[in-house]
Structure 1
Amino acid sequence: MTPQSSFMVVAPLLPGKVAALRALLATMNHCPGSIDPDNALVPFGRFDRLHFARFAILDDVTAGDIALYGVKPADFPVYLVFLGDCDGSKQTFIDDLARKAGEGLRTIFSHCEGFNPGNALGSWMLAHDTPAAAAYVNWIGRPVRQIAEERALRNFLSANVPRGVDGRANGDPQSIRKHLRNLVDAERNAGRLSLTEPEPTPLGWRIREWLHAVWVPLVLLAALPFFIVALPFLAWKLRSLETTDPEVVYRPPEAQLAKLRALEDYDVTNQFTALGSVKPGRFRRYAVVVLLGLLDYSCRHIYNRGHLTRVQTIHFARWVLLDDKQRLMFASNYDGSLDSYMDDFINKVAWGLNLVFSNGVGYPRTNWLVVEGARNEQHFKNYLRRHELPTDVWYKAYPGLTAFDLATNTRIREGLEASSASDEQVREWLKLL
Structure 2
Amino acid sequence: MSESETLFFRTSLDGGALAAARAPDVLDSVAARSRTPPEAKAVQQNALTVFVKIRQGKTDELRVLLESIGKNLHTNPYIQFGELTTTHFCRFVIVPGDPDLDAPASLAFASNFDGDLDAYLDELIAVARRGLDAIYGLCDGYPGSSASAGAVKDFLRQSSLPYGAFYKGHPGLSHRWIKNDIDVRHVIESFLQEQQKTPGWPPSPSEIRTRIQAHLAKFPGLSTALFDRDLPTWKDALPWLIPASLAGIVALPLVIEAAIVYAILLRYHEIRDKPDSLKANFPISHLTVLEDQTIQNQLTHVVPIKPGLFRLWTLKGVLWAINTLAYYIYNQGELGGIPSIHFARWVIIDGGKRLLFFSNYDGSWENYLGDFIDKASTGLTGVWSNTVGFPKTKWLIYEGATHEALFKQWTRAHQIPTQVWYSAYPDATVPNVLNNTAIRGGAQGSLSESKTLEWLEEL
Tell me if 1:51 matches 2:92. Answer: no
CA distance in 1, matches of 2:243, 2:355: 27
Tell me if 1:18 matches 2:59. Answer: yes
For 1:432, the equivalent position in structure 2 comes to: 458
CA distance in 1, matches of 2:326, 2:137: 35
How far has the Cα of 1:421 moved from its partner?
A: 2.2
Q: Call closer, same or farther: CA 1:249–1:349 in 2, change over 3 Å.
A: farther
Output the amino acid matched with 1:275: V
For 2:239, the equivalent position in structure 1 comes to: 214
Tell me if 1:268 matches 2:317. Answer: no
For 1:76, the equivalent position in structure 2 comes to: 103
Which of 438, 442, 446 does residue 420 from structure 1 map onto? 446
How far has the Cα of 1:273 moved from its partner?
A: 0.5
Tell me if 1:228 matches 2:263. Answer: no
How far has the Cα of 1:296 moved from its partner?
A: 1.0
For 1:102, the equivalent position in structure 2 comes to: 129
Which of 228, 245, 257 does residue 273 from structure 2 map onto? 245
For 1:337, the equivalent position in structure 2 comes to: 364
Contact 2:87-2:113 at 8 Å conserved across structures? yes
Output the amino acid matched with 1:407: L
Tell me if 1:185 matches 2:222. Answer: no
3-state DSSP of counterpart to 1:108:
helix
For 1:41, the equivalent position in structure 2 comes to: 78
For 1:175, the equivalent position in structure 2 comes to: 207
3-state DSSP of counterpart to 1:27:
helix
Give TM-score scaled by structure 1 length.
Answer: 0.87
For 2:334, the equivalent position in structure 1 comes to: 307
Output the amino acid matched with 2:190: A
Output the amino acid matched with 2:211: H
Q: Which has the higher mean CA deviation after the structures are superposed, 356-365 or 37-46?
A: 37-46
3-state DSSP of counterpart to 2:101:
coil
Unmatched segments (≥5 aa) in structure 1? 65-72
Which of 110, 131, 146 does residue 162 from structure 2 map onto? 131
Task: Deviation per CA, 1:61-107: give whole Å up to 9, x if none.
Answer: xx57xxxxxxxx32111110111011111221112211232122011
Count of paired positions: 406
How far has the Cα of 1:156 moved from its partner?
A: 1.2
How far has the Cα of 1:141 moved from its partner?
A: 1.0
Which of 377, 395, 401 does residue 428 from structure 2 map onto? 401
CA distance in 2, matches of 1:184, 1:113: 52
Task: Deviation per CA, 1:407-431: give whole Å up to 9, x if none.
Answer: 11011111111x3322222222212
How far has the Cα of 1:324 moved from its partner?
A: 2.0
3-state DSSP of counterpart to 2:419:
strand
Tell me if 1:285 matches 2:312. Answer: yes
3-state DSSP of counterpart to 2:103:
coil
For 1:85, the equivalent position in structure 2 comes to: 112
Q: Call closer, same or farther: CA 1:220–1:382 in 2, change over 3 Å.
A: farther
Unmatched segments (≥5 aa) in structure 2? 1-41
Tell me if 1:147 matches 2:178. Answer: yes
CA distance in 2, matches of 1:104, 1:172: 54
3-state DSSP of counterpart to 1:176:
helix
CA distance in 2, matches of 1:252, 1:322: 20
Output the amino acid matched with 2:218: A
Contact 1:276-1:328 at 8 Å conserved across structures? yes
- Correspondence 1:333-372 to 2 at 5 A: 333-372=360-399
For 2:48, the equivalent position in structure 1 comes to: 7
Contact 2:170-2:430 at 8 Å conserved across structures? no
| Structure 1 runs (4+) greater than 6 angstroms displaced | 162-165, 209-213
Matched-pair identity in %: 33
Contact 2:343-2:359 at 8 Å conserved across structures? yes
Output the amino acid matched with 2:266: L
Contact 2:169-2:331 at 8 Å conserved across structures? yes
Contact 2:50-2:109 at 8 Å conserved across structures? yes
Q: Call closer, same or farther: CA 1:48–1:14 in 2, change over 3 Å.
A: same
3-state DSSP of counterpart to 1:421:
coil
3-state DSSP of counterpart to 1:280:
coil
How far has the Cα of 1:302 moved from its partner?
A: 1.4
